[in-house]
Amino acid sequence: MQQADMVLIGGGIAGLSLAARLARHGRVVVLEGESAPGYHASGRSVAFAHYGLGERIVRTLTALSLPDLAAHAVRHPALHIASAGQAAALDALEDVHRQFGSDCARIMPDEARALVPVLKPEACAAALLDHGSLKLDTNAMLQAHVADLRAHSGDLVCGARVSAIRRYGEVWRVTTSKGHFAAPIIVNAAGAWADEIARMAGVTPIGIEPRRRTVISFAAPEGEDVRAWPFTKTVGEGFYLLPEGRGQLLASSMDQTPSAPCDAASEELDIAIAADRVEQATTLAIRRIRHSWAGLRSFAPDELPVIGNAAGAPGFVWCAGQGGFGFQTAPALSRIAASAALGLPFPEDCAAAGLAPEMFSPARLGA
Ligand SMILES: Cc1cc2nc3c(=O)[nH]c(=O)nc-3n(C[C@H](O)[C@H](O)[C@H](O)COP(=O)(O)OP(=O)(O)OC[C@H]3O[C@@H](n4cnc5c(N)ncnc54)[C@H](O)[C@@H]3O)c2cc1C
């Protein structure tokens, strides 16, 4: 039996960013079922930080996180495009950018097409260019948290799949394929499996819904260096498109198909839809999909993160529901989660930005 002060279940960005903070306050062990961290959602993102998703709370978390994200990111513009019928949605998105003080500008459609020359005129009747968005190095983020955890005497145990959780007196006992671990505090950062972990511990689930998202990769137009192309995203339904190196593009139709927790794989139909949406809106002809993948974005019923102590289960802390924004909100969310786990006051800057513990508490979901 390995004893710790805090055991975290899940070696993705949620668990690792929190573990690095908690390790300054006691002995921390992170249990990861796979043979390496970041195997599931955290290894499958497109690694971008922008204001084009979520609602006010998620965007506030993003704004609070951007300064810390800069350590493992480069500035890369985001171009939000609207068709003729989507002007109101683009106006609303521009307001959001202005509220958060983002360095953005409305640009003319021909200016947008100068940035992304393949865009068809009908796909881009109006455009918003955000200079404040970031291309993240998500692998560097994960590795930096692991290094930080270890530098503070914490441990990441991979291949430790949790199969049972019981509470004995003041202590949680966690059974894994790598032995038993015990701590008075356990954190559920198991992503798509968060409800499964709750059930093991006899804790009320929050109704987490994993949703599959597919990404395709294909060759850029012959001889075109696309590295300077912005991350290009339709307002509302459509697609996003972004460069990956000199001659490669990534795209997604922003699919979100409900799924059981699993090792998600891309499906033929989703690949075809992504390619079709790109071809409809651009002059690109996608002759061959070089590579595709899928990952699960996990949402609570209200699509907000779930951070806080479970009712009636002392020492059981939720850190789940990071949806499609787990990296871009990790710096702020991990501070909120650390304060919940340690029983410390809610972070002052988060409160000053209008956030409050109740917004994240599992109690709002009856858990
Ligand atoms: C296609 C795609 C694009 C995305 N793009 C972006 C983006 O541009 N920007 C952004 O901010 N976010 C993006 N996201 C979202 C982001 O990737 C997620 O929000 C984030 O990775 C969630 O992290 P997590 O740690 O909660 O989950 P995960 O990374 O899934 O980690 C949970 C871990 O728990 C482990 N686990 C589960 N059950 C057990 C068990 N019984 N025992 C031990 N371990 C267990 C799993 O093995 C897993 O490693 C994207 C996601 C996808 C799929």
Using a 10 angstrom Cβ sphere, with 0-12 exposed, 13-18 middle and 19 or more buried, the burial of residue 303 is middle
d(CA 116, CA 234): 13
Task: Tell me the mean pLDDT in the region 294-320.
Answer: 97
Ligand 1 midpoint to CA 14 (Å): 7
Parent domain of 226? 77-132+209-299
- Say yes or no to pLDDT of 268 above 90: yes
> Residue 41's CB: how many other CB atoms inside 10 A?
25
111 and 245 share one domain = yes
pLDDT of res. 362: 98
User: Could you read off the pLDDT of 23-50 as tens digits, one per residue?
Assistant: 999 999 999 999 999 999 999 999 999 9
192 and 306 share one domain = yes
Pocket test for ligand 1, best of 162, 303, 322, 360 (most atoms within 8 A of CB): 322
Ligand 1 midpoint to CA 191 (Å): 5
Using a 10 angstrom Cβ sphere, with 0-12 exposed, 13-18 middle and 19 or more buried, the burial of residue 275 is buried
d(CA 162, CA 199): 12
Task: Tell me the mean pLDDT in the region 287-309.
Answer: 98
85 and 198 share one domain = no
231 and 104 share one domain = yes
Mark which of 241, 264, 299 sits at the end of a domain: 299
Contacts of 269 (CB under 8 A, 6+ apart): none
259 and 358 share one domain = no
Alpha helix (H) ranges present in the chain?
13-22, 56-69, 87-99, 109-115, 138-151, 194-200, 268-281, 330-342, 348-352, 357-360
CATH of the domain at 172: 3.50.50.60
> Angle at Cα 15 formed by Cα 136 and Cα 65, nearest 5°?
40
153 and 278 share one domain = no
- Structure confidence at residue 182 as a pLDDT band (50, 70, 90): very high
- Which pTM does this prediction carry? 0.98
User: Could you read off the pLDDT of 67-83 as tens digits, one per residue?
Assistant: 999 999 999 999 999 99
Spatial contact of 107 and 119, defined as CB atoms under 8 Å apart = no
250 and 153 share one domain = no
Helix (H, G, I), strand (E, B) or coil at 41: helix
CATH of the domain at 113: 3.30.9.10
118 and 218 share one domain = yes
224 and 286 share one domain = yes
Pocket test for ligand 1, best of 46, 165, 180, 304 (most atoms within 8 A of CB): 46
